Amino acid sequence: MTNDVATLLTRHTEALALFTDRVHAVRDDQWDDPTPCTQWSVRDLVNHLTAEQLWVPDLVTDGATIEDIGDAYDGDVLGDRPRQAWDAAARAARKAFSDEGALERTVQLSYGETPVTAYCSQMVSDAVVHSWDLSRAIGAEERLPDALVAFTLEEVAPYASELSKSGLFAAPIEPPPGDDPQTRLLAMLGRRA
């Protein structure tokens, strides 16, 4: 295993652990609370990340396409036990990316054939940013680990300005003077620290 691949898998494991920590910190009375993600409650946010993890084994291990999977993970994937649903999905995604040879493959995403390493990098970044969103929503520690912030900044910087065109992301905002890497990352993705 090359150092880059080992680092990618380490960042993926760390990002999932960070989000897992925040999911397990959600109080029973917070699931309907708002998040920095417009129109998403805490439950909606956790559901989104859980559904994303559920796609990973199908795409990476089974070689399925978006069309093959269809609407299997649309709607509520959390059921009555949201923490356990997240835990199971995160474990399965981690295993799929960690399997022998997985990071040497390609997957079919909505925008075409993509190296699994790029897909994994995107999943890391999504988990990191949404960990901040969830932290803010539930009043948990908002400081993200430096290694995950650096990884995510490097990942999203090349295409951050294009994300708002999708309608799924807020427009970038100007970070305050003397900003730190986390503040810069959040501003790039339309969030105020």
What is the Cα–Cα distance from 116 to 102, expressed in whole angstroms?
A: 7
Angle at the Cα of 87 (from 82 to 89), degrees rounded to 5? 95
What is the Cα–Cα distance from 66 to 162, expressed in whole angstroms?
A: 22
Output the pLDDT for position 167: 62
CA distances from 70 to 73, 97, 174 (A): 8, 21, 38
pLDDT in tens, 101-144: 999 999 999 888 999 999 999 999 999 999 999 999 999 999 99
The residue assigned the tokens 């993970």 is 73
Backbone angles phi, psi at 113, to 5 degrees: -65, 130
Output the pLDDT for position 57: 98
Tell me if the pTM is above 0.75: yes
